[in-house]
Structure formats: C-alpha cells, structure tokens
Structure 1
C-alpha cells in the first residue's frame, strides 16, 4: 500500500529553524568543506534547540493512538552527513516521530515543497522563503534570535497571525500606504460586505482549522490548538476582517484589533508558539517576547 501525507498538516522546516546551528552556519558561509568536517566531528553531539523546536514537539504530539495528523519534514541545504546529525539531535530531544528529511547540499530545497504538499515552510534562509512564497506556499523567515516559546500551555499549540498581507491579501494595505489612514478606513467601510482576497497564509489557517476540527472529534492525547488574529486594524475596519473569516468558514479563537499599538506585549500574554507578520517592525517587536517569523509578502516588503 502506498504511503500518503494526504489529510495531514505538513510542515517543512530547515535545520537552522529546528536547531541552533548559528555557529556552524557562520563556518558554512565561509568554507562549506570545513562545515561538513565540523558536522562530522559533532555527529554524536546533540544540537541545541532552535526557535521552532517547541512548536514542532507540540505538533508531533497530535500523532496519538496510531493516527498521524501532522507530518514534519526537515527540508535543508545541509549535506546528507550533516543530515545524520539533524536526525540524531531530533532523537536526543525526544522527536522520535520526526522521520523524513530532504538534504540538498547547498542547492535550493524549496522545489520539494510541491511533492510534500506543504502547508508551511519555516527557514532561516530569506531567499528560500521568498522563493517558496512566490510558488504559493505559506513560508516565513524564522528570526533565530527570537525569544523562546513559553511553557505556560504545554498541551496547546498556539499560533498567531497578522491579517493584511499574511492571512489576507495586501489590497487594503496598499490603500493605506498610498492614501493614508482615513482613506483606508473609508475603503474598508465601503467594501465591508466584500471578502478580502486570500493572503499567503490562508492555506495554513485552513489546514489548522481542519486539524482543530479533527482534534475535537478524536483522541489526540490531550493536545489542543488555539489561533489568534493580531492586527493593527481597529473599528470600523475590523468588521471586514471578521466577515472574511466568516466567508471562509474558518474560525479563530482570539482576535486583537490593536489600532497600531505595538504587538509584542499583547503577544507575550497570548504566548504563541509562533507568530507571523509581514512588517519587519512588528516582527522585531514580537521576537523580543515570542518566536516570530517574517512573511516577505505584500507592499510593505516591496521597498526593502
């Protein structure tokens, strides 16, 4: 019988997002041959946890009672020998069900997102993330300097999203950038009954929604999922965002309409295992408190 990842949430992740390979990566940039030698010497030395490891551990915990609901695949520019260290490090950190990986020895890895059917690609390599987004896959550059995930909710995966240019298209953001706040508010009130076009992370939110429904219907060993929309929108522009989610028939558990307030401290209270935003200022603010990823999408990124 053939093996399929259909009906699973599929997350592709680079080795640097999963483990702290920052020291090794500096050597990789200077001398790839010396990097390989260093990884060979450290085969039996477990790598320290990376920013996304707590998220991966929680996601894999949904695979309970013989039912696989989540698949995490390492998708890495590492060479196959270094890949051995990745899998050994995974076992050392209790990720025994992390079993699949693609190691391209310096070549572009993002093309393998298609056969995987990935719902998310997390990488510390900005170029790979940009290419993946261009191919239509939800992808974010992990800020490796981010604060670690909170231990406050050990049995709950928490993921937070910005709205415009992340869950939704940047249609409204373009109006704001070109004409200012008043024009943005008028535009959103005038178009309140018209759902916003899809943004790059809608497929991930939809996949999480399906997982959440499956969790409610089956045995997941006590694991749960909680999502949040964290946006600079405020009333009355909030209504179009909510109406769009209703049109998608997708629910979020929390929504924060912050009207331009810094997001970092609100995210600290929500304590997500990961937060996604398109604007570098918001991502930097968030990364001081929670694991964060930059989504290089929309007009806010065309000038950088």
Structure 2
C-alpha cells in the first residue's frame, strides 16, 4: 500500500525558511543559479545554521510518535536538486527527520501543494506566497531576520493569528480602509451575528484544532491566540465566527490599535501571522513572524 498524506497536518517549507541561506541567496540574486549551485556544492559538508521556522518545525515533528505519524514536513523549494542535498544534510545534522522534498530549480513550487495536501506553506519568496494564497492554500512570507527568542515551552506549540485577512476574510478591513473606523464599527456591530467569510488561514486553524484532539494530555500541546486590532463592540463578530466554525482559540487579544509586539512578547509564539507589513516588522523583533500576503492591504500596486 502506498504512503498517503491524507489526514495529516502537512507543512511545506522552503529551504530559506528552514535554514539560514541568506548569504547564499545574495549570491544567487547578484549572479546566477550556476554560481549559487557551485557554492552550495562546496559547502555540502557544512551544515547550514537554523532559520526562522526551524523551532516551529522541530516542535511540529515532536507530535509524531512511534507508529503514529500525525505531522509531515516537506521541503518545497526553488532550489535545484543538487542544492537540495545540502538541505537534507543540514536537516540530519540538526536532528530533523525529514524524508520528502520537491526542488524545482527556479520554477514556482506552489503547483505541488495540492499533491501534498498542504495545510501551510512557509517561504521567504513573496511572489510564491502570493501565488499560493491565490491558489487557495495558507501561506506566509517569513521574515528571516525574526527573533528566535520564543524557543521556550518545549512541550507546547504557540501560534498567534491576526483576524481580518488572515483567519477571516478582509470584508471588514475593506470597510475600514474605504470608510474609516466609525463605519467599520457600525458595520461589524450590525453584522455581529453573521459569521465572517473564511480567510486564508482558516484551514490551518482547523488542522491545528484537529491535531490537538488526537494528542494525549502527556504529549505535545497546541496553544493558539487571536491577536487583532479590533476592539469592542467589533470583537463580537470575530468570536461568533469562530463559534460558528466549531473551532476555538485559547487566548484572544482585542487591542484597539495598541502595538501587538508587547503582547506577543508575553505570549511567546513559535509563529505569528499577520497581513499588515507594519505589524509584521514590529512583531519580528520579538517573535518568528510570517506576512500573509492577502486582502486589500496587499493588493499589487499598479
């Protein structure tokens, strides 16, 4: 019987999100892929340093127990297959058990997400992230310079999500940007009982919720947080939406314009996802951060 990824939490990740290949990437961008390949081959026996998503991946893989493979992490990279050798060797050096990878040598890799049944794609390439979200999969552009100080809580994964344009659609955000705060509050108050349409990260939250139900009290745990600029009374629609979906979060922070970074410092997430670059840049100083290239705030400028 062939192996199947159905029913597992599948995370696809680029090599730059998992390992620190920033120096090599500068070579690639300033010359061509042949110089990059030559450098990677020369460094084949030298393990790369861990990247921003490494702690998250390490914890996710800890959900797997003998005879029970709950999580699959797959390398999905624009790298060439030769450079992929260094990625797998680096993973082995750092104690990550990775078996699967797809290397496309410059071709956008998101086409393979459907075959992988992926619940999340993490990449340092904004174009790939945008294309992935457009194709209907949760994805975020990692900030390679993000702080990795949140490598605490060894038996618990902590993930924080923004609301609008991340967990939820950007329906309300469009009202805010076009008509202002007063109109936004009025819109959300009138529609408090109507669930928001799903955003790109609803499938990931559902997958995490499902994974949590399969684990024992003694095993790895998941703690989630909603960290949003919404405030009362606009908070009600967000909570009611989660209730309608049949999923919940452990913590909810309705900050009404307060800086998210100080609250994230206290929550100590293994990853934070937001659609606003300003929030991401601030959050990256305290926690691993991913930019969700989605919604009205991220429409390409003509």
- The answer (yes or no) to whether the contact 1:10–1:72 under 8 Å persists in 2 is yes
Which residue of 2 is the match for residue 31 of structure 1? Answer: 32
CA distance in 1 between partners of 2:214 and 2:280 (Å):
31
In structure 2, C-alpha distance between the alignment counterparts of 1:102 and 1:288, rounded to whole Å: 31
Q: How does 1:134-213 map to 2 (within 5 A)?
A: 134-213=134-213
| Contact 1:54–1:149, Cα closer than 8 Å, also in 2 | no
Q: Distance in 2 between matches of 1:149 and 1:61?
A: 19
> Structure 2 CA distance, aligned partners of 1:119 and 1:227?
16
Q: How does 1:4-19 map to 2 (within 5 A)?
A: 4-19=4-19
Q: Does structure 1 conserve the Cα–Cα contact (< 8 Å) formed by 2:123 and 2:140?
A: yes
Question: What's the CA shift string for 1:114-160, capped at 9, x where partnerless?
Answer: 10010000000000000000000000000111111423211101100
Aligned residue for 1:225, secondary structure, equals strand
Match of residue 83 from structure 2: 82
Cα distance, 1:300–1:210 mapped onto 2, change above 3 Å: same
- Aligned residue number for residue 276 of structure 2: 279
Equivalent residue pairs, number: 300
Q: Alpha-carbon deviations, 1:88-130, whole Å to 9, x = none?
A: 00011110x2110001111111100010010000000000000
CA distance in 2, matches of 1:61, 1:120: 17
Q: Do the aligned residues in 2 keep the contact of 1:149 with 1:273 (CA within 8 Å)?
A: no
**1:256-275 matched pairs, under 5 angstroms:** 256-275=253-272
**Corresponding position: 1:289 with 2:289:** no
- Following superposition, the deviation at residue 65 of structure 1 comes to 2.8
Unaligned runs of 5+ residues in structure 1 are none
Task: Give the secondary-structure state (helix, strand or coil) at the position aligned to 1:247.
Answer: helix
Identify if the C-alpha distance between structure 1 residues 303 and 178 changes in structure 2 by more than 3 Å, giving closer, same or farther: farther
1:106 aligns with 2:106: yes
Give the TM-score normalised by the residue count of structure 1. 0.97
**Would the aligned equivalents of 2:120 and 2:139 in 1 still touch at CA under 8 Å?**
yes
SS at 2:253 equivalent: strand
Structure 1 runs of 4+ with >4 Å offset: none
User: Structure 2 CA distance, aligned partners of 1:190 and 1:39?
Assistant: 57
TM-score under structure 2 length normalisation: 0.97
Structure 1, 163-172 or 150-159: larger mean CA deviation: 150-159
Report the secondary structure of 1:56's partner residue: helix
- Is the contact made by 1:15 and 1:74 (CA closer than 8 Å) also made in structure 2? yes
How much does 1:34 deviate? 1.0
CA drift at 1:2 = 1.5
Aligned equivalent of 2:229, options 229, 232, 239: 232
Q: Is contact 1:146-1:290 (8 Å) kept? A: yes
Give the whole-Å Cα distance in 2 for the aligned partners of 1:39 and 1:64: 33
Secondary structure at the counterpart of residue 250 of structure 1? coil
Cα RMSD of the aligned pairs, angstroms, is 1.0
The runs of 5 or more residues in structure 2 that have no matched partner are none
User: Matches of 2:51 and 2:4 in 1, distance apart?
Assistant: 28
Alignment partner of 2:199: what SS? Answer: coil
Corresponding residue of 2:214: 214
Answer yes or no: is the 8 Å Cα contact 2:172–2:184 preserved in 1: yes
Q: CA deviation at 1:303?
A: 5.8
Corresponding residue number in structure 2 for 1:20: 20
